[in-house]
Amino acid sequence: MTSVKKSRATLIGVVLAFALPVIGAKFVLDQSWYQGAATNKGTMIVPPIELSDELQARLPEGWRVGLVADNNCGAPCQQGLYAMNQLDVALGKESSRVKPIVFSRQQLDFDLAQTPLVKAIIDPEFPAAFADLPPHRLFIIDPLGNVMLHYDTYGNEEEMRAEAKNLLSDLRTLLKLSRIG
């Protein structure tokens, strides 16, 4: 091989070494073989529900996990309340940053004695603010008053436990990344 042919082969080899990965990546993306990862396990609310300053002032400071309940609080609602109550233990040293709250339009007929860490807020304005959420869902409110993620509640204890783990995972990530609340 002459030196010209060697130089040409080397140049082609260098160009291919840089071009093939780019071409391969473009092909993989165009064929939809790669699905980007979603880090949250709950359902993202886009755009987030923003609470007014007046409503925000009536809430405890920090991060809040909420549930809108009515007097028809069946098994899914009860399981959701229990999961919220267990957040205190599951979050460990971060538990002081998160307040579990149940919102209601009127006085609740059921007793919250089984879930002593859950605070009840009886105010018709809060359930109205959360009207865009599906009923009986757990949701996360950030310290700035944005409702950003929601989670299903289940009557079955096993399913609810799995969903509570998803909530806990997202909440830990948010607390880790947040410098507020």
Residue 165 has φ and ψ, to the nearest 5°, of -65, -40
Task: Read off the pTM.
Answer: 0.78
pLDDT score for 58 = 93
- Region 79-99: mean pLDDT is 92
Q: Is the pLDDT of residue 37 over 70?
A: no
Q: Could you tell me whether strands 43-50 and 146-151 are parallel, antiparallel, or unpaired per DSSP bridges?
A: antiparallel
Q: How far is CA 158 from CA 78, 80, 101, 140, in A?
A: 14, 12, 22, 21
**Mean pLDDT over residues 84-108, rounded?**
91
Query: What percent of the chain lies above the pLDDT cut of 70?
Result: 97
Structure confidence by residue, pLDDT tens digits, 137-159: 999 999 999 999 999 999 999 99
With a cut of 70, say whether residue 38 has pLDDT above it.
no
User: pLDDT band at 40, cuts 50/70/90?
Assistant: confident
The closest of 56, 154, 139, 143 to 100, measured between CA atoms, is: 139
The whole-number average pLDDT for the span 79-105 is 92
φ, ψ (nearest 5 deg) of residue 157: -60, -40
